[in-house]
């Protein structure tokens, strides 16, 4: 009997061990990458400010570079000859004879395409390292991988259309790679063994494909962002002007040039590679075509499956209490992932005709909707305190109980209650400061009435720790929290609350020392009633005044 039980439990236990091991490895990799990104973003914040930090607008910059590519590409097309004989000469004409405009346009087109690949790769790496690619974000992650390959294909076709020695090399290698597939009956690379094998029809087909893919790409990118509320599809004006000037300066200092004209009778010997697009062709010279297919295909599949590797427990989904919901629409406006919508009621309520409905597949369990609800107040009484919308595993009653217990645990002179976002610096390390700590899934999950309640029930001050400005783990939570405190967004903090007893700090996990320093200064300032401390800043990171 014991043997049978051991056998029955062996597979589940081994599965748990394996999953835990993979999970630990994954977290270790993410931790290193996250630290690197946060250090770099801290420097760029110091240089450009949070409003123009390029790392916070990688998606918007990708859209912007696509716009630049479309505009410059249209200009180049006006002078481009779609015949095999005239393609190279037409590109040379705009590069040299019309260098003052056509040549600059070509160079900007080249460098904007490189920049687009760079921002897309950084965008994916940043999402992965910050663990923002699974759960309700899975759709955006999975749809992002095909977008990357569409950009690669479009760029490779662009190099091909120049029809110089590099274009010749790309054409031959591409068809040799395709010929490896068993579905190809007759080798297509034979068409490129002689100059006579190239036809104008093929070139025109390539031009049409090169023009159509960006338009299709733009539509696919809009689908990629359609589950996000207020997606960053455009960079700030100053950042857009800055990257445009950078492209222009780079184009003037190092203009894009062609190789010698293509000649299929001669094998190119020396080529200058654009490693952003053509790195795959270097692999073809080292490994077999089969191995390259395995690496590219297997790698793409692995990246797309990352949200499910290893299998994780499904996060709880927000629950609506229909009898408390007034259909005010605040939770709908605040949800970063458009996971809530209003629908007509079916319960014949006397006063309200609409009710909030949660789309379970989009909910990421951030809890921001709880703080959006006007019913989310600890001042209400009753045996089971509930909000009109809340998280089933951590509802309004549980949060109030936790806050009351935290207030009772304060032993030091300055009684400070710290509400800390679990995605920033670890607040558990602040125990030595003697403050009460309460962890939140997001700073936007905190109902502002909790601040009022804490200050009226024993707390001398309330300190809120949120993600960096412009970089909330849940996209918009820190912005909504800041606006509720400053009275710019409902539900807002009541006017009776003394602002000098509230501090809102923004930083990342790498900013722990700064968090500890600001918290200590805040505790000391509460001992001096005449001292005014910083509350909410509309722009930039939080600091004490």
Q: Tell me the pLDDT tens digit for each residue of 119-146.
A: 999 999 999 999 999 988 999 999 999 9
Cα 494 from chain centroid? Answer: 34
Query: What is the three-class DSSP state of 266?
Result: coil
Confidence check: pLDDT of 402 > 50: yes
pLDDT-derived band at 443 (thresholds 50, 70, 90) equals very high
**Strand bridging mode 319-320 / 389-390:** antiparallel
Q: At what angle do helices 289-305 and 165-179 cross, to 10 degrees?
A: 80
- Radius of gyration of the chain, Cα coordinates, nearest whole angstrom: 29
Confidence check: pLDDT of 193 > 70: no
313 vs 475, residue with greater confidence: 475
Q: Output the pLDDT for position 539.
A: 44
* The token pair that represents 544 in the structure block: 């004490």
Residue whose entry in the numeric block shows the structure tokens 């662009």: 158
Over residues 242-262, the mean pLDDT reads 96
Confidence check: pLDDT of 358 > 90: yes
Confidence check: pLDDT of 212 > 90: yes
Confidence check: pLDDT of 1 > 70: no
Over residues 220-225, the mean pLDDT reads 95
Confidence check: pLDDT of 544 > 50: no
541 vs 37, residue with greater confidence: 37
C-alpha–C-alpha distance, residues 448 and 39, integer Å: 31
Q: Output the pLDDT for position 532.
A: 47
C-alpha–C-alpha distance, residues 399 and 397, integer Å: 5
Q: Output the pLDDT for position 314.
A: 81
Residue 527, φ and ψ in degrees, nearest 5: -80, -15
Q: What DSSP element (H or E) covers 427?
A: none
Q: Which of 365, 333, 318 is nearest to 491 (CA)?
A: 333
Q: Is the peptide bond before 310 cis (omega within 30 degrees of 0)?
A: yes
208 vs 187, residue with greater confidence: 208
Residue whose entry in the numeric block shows the structure tokens 């859209």: 63
Over residues 79-83, the mean pLDDT reads 94
Confidence check: pLDDT of 12 > 60: no
User: Which of 92-106, 273-287, 398-412 is modeled with the greatest confidence?
Assistant: 92-106
Percent of the chain having pLDDT more than 90?
Answer: 71
C-alpha–C-alpha distance, residues 319 and 331, integer Å: 12
Q: Output the pLDDT for position 329.
A: 95
The answer to whether residues 440 and 368 touch, using CB atoms and an 8 Å cutoff, is no
Over residues 251-280, the mean pLDDT reads 91
Mean pLDDT for the chain overall: 88
Query: What is the three-class DSSP state of 355?
Result: strand
Q: Output the pLDDT for position 10.
A: 42
C-alpha–C-alpha distance, residues 217 and 214, integer Å: 5
pLDDT-derived band at 540 (thresholds 50, 70, 90) equals very low
Helical ranges in 311-395 per DSSP H:
330-334, 368-372
The answer to whether residues 424 and 375 touch, using CB atoms and an 8 Å cutoff, is no
Over residues 333-348, the mean pLDDT reads 93
Give 318-330 pLDDT, tens digit per residue: 999 999 999 999 9
């Amino acid at each position: 009997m014991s043997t049978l039980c051991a056998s029955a439990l062996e597979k589940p236990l081994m599965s748990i061990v394996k999953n835990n091991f993979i999970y630990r490895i994954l977290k270790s990799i993410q931790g290193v990458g996250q630290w690197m990104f946060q250090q770099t973003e801290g420097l760029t914040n110091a240089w450009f400010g949070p409003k123009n930090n390029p790392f916070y607008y990688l998606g918007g910059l990708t859209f912007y570079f696509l716009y630049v590519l479309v505009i410059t590409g249209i200009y180049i097309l006006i002078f481009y000859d779609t015949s095999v004989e005239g393609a190279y000469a037409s590109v040379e004409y705009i590069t040299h004879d019309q260098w003052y405009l056509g040549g600059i346009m070509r160079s900007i087109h080249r460098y904007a395409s490189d920049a687009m690949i760079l921002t897309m790769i950084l965008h994916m790496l940043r999402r992965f390292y910050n663990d923002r690619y699974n759960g309700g974000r899975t759709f955006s992650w999975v749809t992002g991988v095909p977008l990357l390959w569409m950009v690669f294909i479009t760029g490779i076709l662009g190099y091909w259309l120049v029809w110089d020695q590099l274009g010749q090399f790309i054409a031959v290698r591409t068809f040799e790679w395709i010929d490896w597939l068993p579905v190809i009956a007759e080798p297509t690379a034979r068409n490129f063994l002689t100059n006579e094998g190239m036809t104008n029809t093929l070139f025109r087909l390539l031009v049409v494909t090169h023009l159509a893919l960006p338009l299709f790409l733009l539509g696919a990118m809009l689908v990629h962002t359609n589950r996000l509320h207020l997606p960053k599809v455009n960079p700030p004006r100053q950042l857009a002007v800055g990257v445009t000037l950078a492209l222009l300066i780079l184009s003037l200092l190092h203009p894009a040039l062609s190789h010698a004209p293509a000649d299929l009778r001669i094998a190119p010997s020396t080529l200058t590679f654009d490693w952003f697009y053509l790195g795959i062709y270097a692999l073809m010279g080292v490994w077999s075509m089969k191995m390259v297919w395995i690496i590219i295909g297997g790698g793409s599949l692995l990246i797309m499956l990352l949200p499910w590797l290893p299998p994780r427990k499904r996060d709880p989904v927000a629950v609506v209490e229909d009898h408390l919901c007034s259909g005010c629409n605040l939770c709908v406006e605040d949800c970063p992932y458009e996971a809530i919508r209003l629908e007509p009621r079916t319960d014949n309520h006397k006063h309200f005709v609409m009710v909030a409905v949660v789309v379970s597949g989009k909910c990421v369990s951030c809890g921001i909707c709880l703080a959006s609800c006007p019913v989310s107040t600890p001042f209400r009484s009753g045996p089971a305190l509930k909000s009109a919308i809340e998280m089933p595993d951590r509802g309004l009653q549980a949060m109030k109980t936790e806050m009351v217990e935290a207030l009772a645990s304060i032993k030091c002179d300055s009684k400070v209650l710290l509400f800390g976002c679990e995605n920033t610096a670890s607040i558990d390390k602040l125990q030595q400061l003697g403050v009460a700590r309460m962890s939140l899934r997001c700073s936007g999950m905190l109902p502002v009435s909790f601040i009022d309640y804490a200050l009226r029930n024993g707390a001398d001050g309330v300190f809120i720790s949120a993600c960096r400005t412009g970089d909330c783990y849940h996209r918009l939570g820190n912005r909504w929290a800041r606006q509720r405190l400053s009275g710019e967004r409902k539900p807002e903090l009541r006017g009776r609350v003394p602002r000098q007893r509230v501090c809102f700090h923004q930083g990342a996990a790498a900013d722990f020392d700064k968090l500890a320093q600001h918290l200590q200064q805040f505790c000391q300032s509460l001992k001096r009633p005449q001292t005014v401390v910083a509350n909410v800043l509309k722009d930039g990171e939080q600091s004490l005044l």
